[in-house]
Amino acid sequence: MTTPALLPLSGRRLPPLNLGASAFPHHRATLRLSEKFILLLILSAFITLCFGAFFFLPDSSKHKRFDLGLEDVLIPHVDTSKGGKNLGGFLIHGQGHDEHRHREEEERLRNKIRADHEKALEEAKEKLKKSRDEIQAEIQTEKNKVVQELKKKDSKPLPPVPLPNLVGINSGEPADPDIRERRNKIKEMMKHAWDNYRQYGWGHNELKPIARKGHSTNIFGNSQMGATIVDALDTLYIMGLHDEFREGQEWIDKNLDFSVNSEVSVFEVNIRFIGGLLAAYYLSGQEVFKIKAVQLAGKLLPAFNTPTGIPWAMVNLKSGVGRNWGWASAGSSILAEFGTLHMEFVHLSYLTGDPVYYNKVMHIRKLLQKMDRPNGLYPNYLNPRTGRWGQHHTSVGGLGDSFYEYLLKAWLMSDKTDMEARKMYDDAIEAIEKHLIRKSNGGLTFIGEWKNGHLERKMGHLTCFAGGMFALGADGSRDDKAGHYLQLGAEIAHTCHESYDRTTLKLGPEAFKFDGGVEAVAVRQNEKYYILRPEVIETYWYMWRFTHDPKYRQWGWEAAQAIDKYCRVSGGFSGVKDVYSSSPTYDDVQQSFFLAETLKYLYLLFSDDDLLPLDNWVFNTEAHPLPVLHLANTTLSGNPAYR
Ligand code: DMJ
């Protein structure tokens, strides 16, 4: 046995000492007294050190409870009656045998902890050897597992509901070969729009067909929610594009997730997503669409937490915090936004048996009914904190449009039993006709905008939907004025067709004037664009259904050809910035409503009337067909779980 080299106080290095019996066989007798004394000194210092260590080193037993947290493991049964004593919360058995067992146990646990630490270290080392991509893939797999677990939790089946009579969900094949050819052309345009979105924008909200990449706007928040997929589903379905439909369904099933920190427009999400999902559910019967629609609706509900129950325009899907658009008059919510929830929300209550959705929209209706209306008109702005109107602007175009549409459609959707909605529609339309509808010098009927008691003689492309609405509401109108409203619808259709016909591209501008010598023409440069909007074609289709006048098919065909000629690019379809210019520039956006509405209305225009017949289906404002709920006497009582 060797001892370590010792340093004497002088600092001079001594030779190593071997104190074993055979270490110095010839020198034992020769050790001098001074050397013996030094040895003795060293030995006594060593003994003092050991003695001190025995007394002064920390007592590890005092720390067991905290270091190891193992008291339950070490001595599972605390029974002081059998000779054990409790020392500061830690129980030690008095018997020597027990102490031995205890030490062994402690040792075993220390070894285990050591082994665990080593294992963790090894794992960490292994991780560090992996590439960034491998680590990210592992994190993603873990995340997916959690999402799947959550999905299982959220995907509880909803209560069964008797499905309304679903007639005319396919076919509509026209007998006339020319019409059939036109219909096929529209289907081909849909394929072109979808395939390019599929290739370049898949999962994004919309497509930039020239840059060939995804696109989004603030209405969808900052998330990729596949708006085009959801919006396009029912169009794909009625066109018989079933492979594409299934692709969309698969994406929705696997990827459409609403637990995202994203601030979205309540109105847009309702009409495009909830409307799209509900229509896809009714057409295909696939539960996933219903479940997703209900999950999403749950995320919109916090928007209604305002002092009046009038919802905020935007809501954060994760936090539920809502707010209004900065540009809206005096912090107001917008009539066309909070007034365009009724159809979808009634269907949600019908399908889930939960009245919460129905109550929200009926609350809005009751509140509006109680309010004074300047000249019988509904202003576009309403403050959700005070319950007061903002600026007294009224429009049948942007900011107002679909509120009126949904009053009429609430009545139609209830199998014409919701008379309250019909009355509100009739009253509103009478006031609009009195104050907003005029004839131009050239004899064109137009719908202007009411601004603080003054009529602005300007009509928006959006306003053109009203031709179809007047025709749709003709049957059942007050004082049996069906003929009058059908005529009004025809006049608006004519005016809107003029707004197309008077351009170079034969596509309509965003807004057009009836002032001085100007008739149905855009004046300001920033009103000359066409962004693939559907409203004019929508009106042609309704007029076609109610009159079968071939001119509507002809006008629709002109519009389809112009779109194909001027908006089609190799990467999809794009809006154009100036419909009066012979060399237009593109805005590079393929709007989701082009697939949901524009192409759907065109396809229906060249189909027979037995495809989605209007006695059975009501189209939401994004052209998503929802079935009429044939409910006796009440607005809503179809779901047995609901009564
Ligand atoms: C669509 O999203 C809906 O039709 C909405 O009601 C208003 N406008 C766009 C299309 O122009």
What are the distances in angstroms from CA 169 to CA 279, 392, 625, 627?
Answer: 11, 43, 10, 11
pLDDT > 90: what percent of the chain?
71
Average pLDDT for the chain: 84
Side chain identity at residue 75, one-letter code? I
Which of the pair, 578 or 107, is modelled with greater confidence? Answer: 578
| Backbone CA torsion sign across 224, 268, 323, 366 | negative
Cα(215)–Cα(553) distance, integer angstroms: 32
Question: Coil, helix or strand for 126?
Answer: helix
Q: Are 567 and 532 in contact (CB under 8 A)?
A: yes
Cα(7)–Cα(45) distance, integer angstroms: 14
Cα(41)–Cα(48) distance, integer angstroms: 11
| pLDDT above 60 for 82 | no
Tell me the best of 235, 268, 597 to mutate to test the pocket of ligand 1, counting ligand atoms within 8 Å of each CB and taking the most: 597
441: confidence class by pLDDT, cuts 50, 70, 90: very high
| pLDDT above 80 for 468 | yes
Q: 333: part of which helix (H) or strand (E)?
A: strand 333-334
- The whole-number pLDDT of residue 127 equals 64
Q: Are 196 and 572 in contact (CB under 8 A)?
A: yes
Tell me the best of 510, 621, 624 to mutate to test the pocket of ligand 1, counting ligand atoms within 8 Å of each CB and taking the most: 621
**Which amino acid residue places its CA nearest to atom 10 of ligand 1?**
533
Section 189-195 average pLDDT: 99
Catalytic-labelled residue, pool 231, 234, 244, 510 = 510
5: confidence class by pLDDT, cuts 50, 70, 90: very low
| pLDDT above 50 for 613 | yes
pLDDT > 70: what percent of the chain?
77
- Other CB atoms within 10 Å distance of the CB of residue 600: 31
- The whole-number pLDDT of residue 601 equals 99
| Residue 622 alpha carbon to ligand 1 centre in Å | 6
Tell me the best of 408, 593, 619 to mutate to test the pocket of ligand 1, counting ligand atoms within 8 Å of each CB and taking the most: 593
**Segment 136-150, tens digit of pLDDT:** 666 666 665 655 555
| Residue 468 alpha carbon to ligand 1 centre in Å | 14
- Other CB atoms within 10 Å distance of the CB of residue 580: 15
Beta bridge partners of 586: 576
3-state helix, strand, coil in the chain (%, to 5): 55, 10, 35
Least Cα distance to 423 among 349, 368, 352, 359 occurs for 368
| pLDDT above 60 for 78 | no
Section 537-566 average pLDDT: 99
Q: Are 510 and 568 in contact (CB under 8 A)?
A: no
Which of the pair, 108 or 212, is modelled with greater confidence? Answer: 212
Of ligand 1's atoms, which has the minimum distance to the CA of residue 401? 6
Q: Are 495 and 448 in contact (CB under 8 A)?
A: no
Instruction: For residue 578, indicate whether it is catalytic.
Output: no
Which of the pair, 26 or 568, is modelled with greater confidence? Answer: 568
| pLDDT above 80 for 315 | yes
Please, what are the domains in the chain? 177-627 (1.50.10.10)
| Residue 80 alpha carbon to ligand 1 centre in Å | 79
Q: 486: part of which helix (H) or strand (E)?
A: helix 482-501
21: confidence class by pLDDT, cuts 50, 70, 90: very low
The finding on whether 621 has its CB within 6 A of some atom of ligand 1 is yes
| Backbone CA torsion sign across 78, 83, 86, 90 | negative
| Residue 334 alpha carbon to ligand 1 centre in Å | 14
Cα(623)–Cα(640) distance, integer angstroms: 28
| pLDDT above 70 for 51 | no
Section 93-100 average pLDDT: 53
Q: The tokens of 549 are what?
A: 């006048």
Cα(469)–Cα(412) distance, integer angstroms: 12
| pLDDT above 50 for 61 | no
Catalytic-labelled residue, pool 206, 263, 401, 622 = 401
Q: Are 578 and 528 in contact (CB under 8 A)?
A: yes
CA torsion 328→331→336→338, rounded to 10°? 150
**Helices marked H in 1-158:** 33-56, 64-67, 71-74, 96-129, 132-154
The finding on whether 622 has its CB within 6 A of some atom of ligand 1 is yes
| pLDDT above 50 for 76 | no
| pLDDT above 70 for 474 | yes
Cα(130)–Cα(120) distance, integer angstroms: 16
The finding on whether 402 has its CB within 6 A of some atom of ligand 1 is yes
| Secondary structure tally for the chain: helices H, strands E | 22, 21
Cα(400)–Cα(340) distance, integer angstroms: 10
The finding on whether 270 has its CB within 6 A of some atom of ligand 1 is no
Least Cα distance to 591 among 492, 503, 461 occurs for 461
- The whole-number pLDDT of residue 469 equals 99
Cα(518)–Cα(491) distance, integer angstroms: 18
| Residue 281 alpha carbon to ligand 1 centre in Å | 21
156: confidence class by pLDDT, cuts 50, 70, 90: low
108: confidence class by pLDDT, cuts 50, 70, 90: confident
643: confidence class by pLDDT, cuts 50, 70, 90: very low
Instruction: For residue 510, indicate whether it is catalytic.
Output: yes
The finding on whether 590 has its CB within 6 A of some atom of ligand 1 is no
For 360-425, the DSSP string reads: HHHHHHHHHHHS--GGGPPPSEE-TTT--B-S-EE-SSTTTHHHHHHHHHHHHHTTT--HHHHHHH
| Backbone CA torsion sign across 305, 311, 316, 322 | negative
Catalytic-labelled residue, pool 263, 337, 344, 535 = 535
Cα(223)–Cα(539) distance, integer angstroms: 33
| Residue 301 alpha carbon to ligand 1 centre in Å | 22
68: confidence class by pLDDT, cuts 50, 70, 90: very low
Which of the pair, 108 or 67, is modelled with greater confidence? Answer: 108
243: confidence class by pLDDT, cuts 50, 70, 90: very high
Parallel, antiparallel, or unpaired: how do β-strands 393-394 and 449-451 relate? antiparallel
The finding on whether 533 has its CB within 6 A of some atom of ligand 1 is yes
The finding on whether 231 has its CB within 6 A of some atom of ligand 1 is no
Block residue for tokens 């990729």: 224
**Helices marked H in 130-212:** 132-154, 177-196
631: confidence class by pLDDT, cuts 50, 70, 90: low
| Residue 621 alpha carbon to ligand 1 centre in Å | 7
- The whole-number pLDDT of residue 109 equals 79
- Residue 430's φ and ψ, nearest 5 degrees, are -65, -45
Section 541-553 average pLDDT: 99
67: confidence class by pLDDT, cuts 50, 70, 90: very low
| pLDDT above 90 for 241 | yes
C-alpha of 181 from chain center: 37
Q: 470: part of which helix (H) or strand (E)?
A: helix 465-474
**Segment 321-347, tens digit of pLDDT:** 999 999 999 899 999 999 999 999 999
- The whole-number pLDDT of residue 638 equals 44
Beta bridge partners of 190: none
- The whole-number pLDDT of residue 516 equals 86
Cα(458)–Cα(449) distance, integer angstroms: 7
Instruction: For residue 535, indicate whether it is catalytic.
Output: yes
CA torsion 544→550→555→556, rounded to 10°? 50
The finding on whether 593 has its CB within 6 A of some atom of ligand 1 is yes
Q: Among 94-108, 231-245, 553-567, which stretch is predicted with the lowest mean pLDDT?
A: 94-108
Least Cα distance to 402 among 520, 499, 498, 275 occurs for 275
Cα(411)–Cα(313) distance, integer angstroms: 25
The finding on whether 600 has its CB within 6 A of some atom of ligand 1 is no
**Polymer length in residues for the chain:** 643
| pLDDT above 50 for 60 | no
| Residue 593 alpha carbon to ligand 1 centre in Å | 7
Catalytic-labelled residue, pool 268, 498, 597, 622 = 268
Residue 352, annotated as binding a ligand:
no
Instruction: For residue 268, indicate whether it is catalytic.
Output: yes
**Distant-in-sequence, close-in-space partners of 446: CB < 8 Å, separation ≥ 6:** 437, 438, 439, 440, 457, 459, 492, 495, 514, 520
Block residue for tokens 């509808």: 437
Cα(640)–Cα(139) distance, integer angstroms: 45
The reported pTM is 0.77
Of ligand 1's atoms, which has the minimum distance to the CA of residue 405? 6
- The whole-number pLDDT of residue 48 equals 54
Q: Are 485 and 415 in contact (CB under 8 A)?
A: no
